[in-house]
């Protein structure tokens, strides 16, 4: 399983959201979610092991949702 998320400041121009992405990645890490942050912070890559449970995936989604809600 591989999930990628690209953050942009404008959907039309697709300008990368570097600062917001780095801040979201940092907040996720502080709350126990390790993401691969690429392209200077505008792209997240989430690659959980195959043994990850549904409950763990739900928790990861909640952490990411909280970080995005806090910072965007």
3-state DSSP call for residue 42?
coil
**Residue 65 in tokens:** 């949702």
Average pLDDT over the chain reads 92
41 — alpha (psi -120 to 50), left (phi > 0) or beta?
left
> For the chain, how many structural domains are there in total?
1
Identify whether 64 is part of a domain.
Answer: yes
pLDDT score at 64:
95
Considering the entire predicted model, what is its pTM?
0.84
Percent of the chain predicted with pLDDT > 70: 100
Identify whether 6 is part of a domain.
Answer: no
pLDDT per residue as tens digits for the range 26-57 = 999 999 999 888 888 899 999 999 999 999 99
Identify whether 28 is part of a domain.
Answer: yes
DSSP conformation class of 35: -
Q: How confident is the model at residue 72 (pLDDT cuts 50, 70, 90)?
A: confident
Q: Which of 52, 54, 17 is nearest to 37 (CA)?
A: 17
Whole-number Cα distances in Å, 3 to 14, 47, 53 = 19, 7, 16
């Amino acid at each position: 399983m591989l999930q990628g998320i690209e953050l942009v400041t404008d959907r039309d121009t697709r300008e990368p959201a570097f600062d917001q992405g780095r801040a979201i990645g940092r907040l996720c890490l502080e709350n126990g979610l390790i993401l691969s942050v690429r392209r200077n912070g505008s792209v997240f890559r989430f690659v959980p092991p195959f043994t990850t449970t549904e409950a763990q995936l739900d928790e990861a989604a909640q952490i990411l949702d909280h970080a995005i809600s806090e910072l965007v």
